[in-house]
Amino acid sequence: MTALICGSMAYDTVMTFEGRFRDHILPDKLHLLNVSFLVPAMRRNFGGCAGNIAYNLRLIGGDGLIMATVGHDFGPYGDWLDRWDLPRTHVRELPEEFTAQAYITTDLDNNQITAFHPGAMNQSHRNRVSDSRGAKLGIVAPDGRTGMIEHAEQFAAAGVPFIFDPGQGLPMFGGEELREFIERASWVAVNDYEASLLAERTGWSLEQMAAKVRALIVTRGGAGSWIFAGGERHEIPVAPPARLADPTGCGDAYRAGLLFGLQRDFDWPTTGRVASLLGSIKIEHHGTQQHRVAAGEFEQRFKQVFGYAL
C-alpha cells in the first residue's frame, strides 16, 4: 500500500556558535540590533517533513511516494533520494525558485536563532493528489499553506484516507480551517503543544477531536504518546534511546512509523510502538536523515524493547 507523502523538502544548514547569545545581545539595544556570530562548526542536512518521513519509511521497508515542490538547487538532494531508491515522480522542480532552506544557529545554552526561506514550498499547490495513481494512503504534512488546504480537499474527494499532521504549519490556520482539516482527515497527529493549540483554535477537546477521526495521536516527548481510537486512550511507552544526540526530525520519524503500521494493518498499540522506536533511533543521531537501520535490525530491536515480535 503506497503512501503519498505531501509536505516540504528543505535544506537545513545547522551552525554552532561557541558562545552565548546573551553575552552579545544587549537588552537595551534591541532596537539597534546588529550582531555577527562566528560559527566554526557547520553542517548541511537534507530535511523537510516529506523527505524525512519518506526516508524513515524506506528504512524499515515501507512504501512512500513524495509529493513536493523544490527549486533549481535541488540537485544534491535529488541524488540522495536516488541513492535511497525514493522516487522523484511527484517532486516538481521550479527553476525560478530556491528549495526551502532553514538556517539554524545554536549557542552553548542550546538557544537557537533560525531563519527560514520557504522558496518553492509556497508553490506546493501546483501538485495535485490526482497526479498520483495508486496511492491508497496519504499524509498532509507541513508545507505551503494553499498546498496543505488543497491536498486535504483532494484526498477527501478521492476517498483516500490520510493523516493530517499540521506541525509547525499549524499557526497559519484559523479555527474554521482546522475544523475542516480534521473533518476531512482519517487520522490526526500532533505533539502535546500542538494538541493544546489545536484545541484552543477549534474549540474542541481532545476527546471531541478523537470522535471525528479514526485516531488522534498525541506525542509527548519523553513521556511517550497517546493514541485516542475506538473510544479508548492507548498509552504508548517511549522506546529508550541509546543516547540523546539530536531531537530534530524525531516527529517525522514517528509519523513514518504510523504510516508503516497503517500499511501493515497493525493494531494501534503496535503501530504506536513502531513509531516510538523509529523516533528513538532518529534521536540517537545528528541530522534528520543520517541514521541507519535495516528492517531486520528494527524488528529485532522492537522485540528486545517491547517483548514481542512484529
| pTM greater than 0.85 | yes
Average pLDDT rounded to a whole number, residues 253-282: 98
Residues 45, 288 contacting (CB under 8 angstroms): yes
To the nearest 10 degrees (0 to 180), the angle between helices 268-283 and 49-59 is 110
Place of cell 497526479: 131
Average pLDDT rounded to a whole number, residues 33-55: 92
* Cα 138 to chain centroid, rounded: 13
Domains by residue range for the chain, with CATH: 3-9+48-97+121-306 (3.40.1190.20)
Q: What is the pLDDT of residue 33?
A: 77
| Backbone phi and psi for residue 74, each to the nearest 5 degrees, phi listed first | -80, -10
Percent of the chain with pLDDT over 90: 86
Residues 6+ apart with CB under 8 A from 297: none
Average pLDDT rounded to a whole number, residues 47-56: 97
Q: What is the pLDDT of residues 5-36, one digit of tens each?
A: 999 999 999 899 999 998 988 777 667 778 88
Four-point Cα dihedral 134, 49, 259, 309, nearest 10: 140
Residues 163, 53 contacting (CB under 8 angstroms): no
